[in-house]
Amino acid sequence: QQQVKQSPQSLIVQKGGISIINCAYENTAFDYFPWYQQFPGKGPALLIAIRPDVSEKKEGRFTISFNKSAKQFSLHIMDSQPGDSATYFCAASNTGTASKLTFGTGTRLQVTL
C-alpha cells in the first residue's frame, strides 16, 4: 500500500522555468511533510519541510504548497537552474519519536540550458 503518491516520475524543464512536483497522501495522521533532494551517488538531503498548519512555505527558490483538505502537497522550484537537476522525494510522517518517514517514489528532474 503506497501511502504517498508522487508525480511525475520524470520532468524536463528549461533553465529559468518553473518545476512542479506533486504528492498526495492517504494517512490523516501525518503531520510533517518534507522534501528531500538526491544527487547521483549521494544520499538524500532535506531540502524543505512543512507542517499542516500552514498552506505555504518558501525558502529561496523553493516553495511547498499544502492543501490539507485535498491531502496534497507540491514542490515548486522557481527559476530552475541546471544545478537543480536531481531526484526529488516527497515524504510524510507524524512527529512522534518512533515515527517512520514514508517516501514517495521520486521525480527525476532535468534542467536544460
Q: Which residues bind another protein (CB under 8 A)?
A: 6, 9, 31-32, 34, 36, 41-46, 49, 51, 89, 93-106
Shorter beta-carbon distance to another protein: residue 53 or 113: 53
Q: Which residues pair with 64 in a beta bridge?
A: 57, 75
Q: How far is the CB of 24 from another protein (least distance, A)?
A: 14
Q: How far is the CB of 32 from another protein (least distance, A)?
A: 4
Q: How far is the CB of 39 from another protein (least distance, A)?
A: 10
What b/e sequence results for 64-102 when a residue is b if at least 16 CB atoms lie within 10 Å of its CB, and e otherwise? bbbeeeebebbbbbeebeeebbbebbbbbbeeeeeeeeb
Shorter beta-carbon distance to another protein: residue 14 or 55: 55
Shorter beta-carbon distance to another protein: residue 18 or 46: 46
72, 6 in Cβ contact below 8 A?
A: no
Classify 82 as helix, strand or coil.
Answer: helix
Q: How far is the CB of 46 from another protein (least distance, A)?
A: 4
Q: Say how far apart CA 53 and CA 68 lie, in whole Å.
A: 9
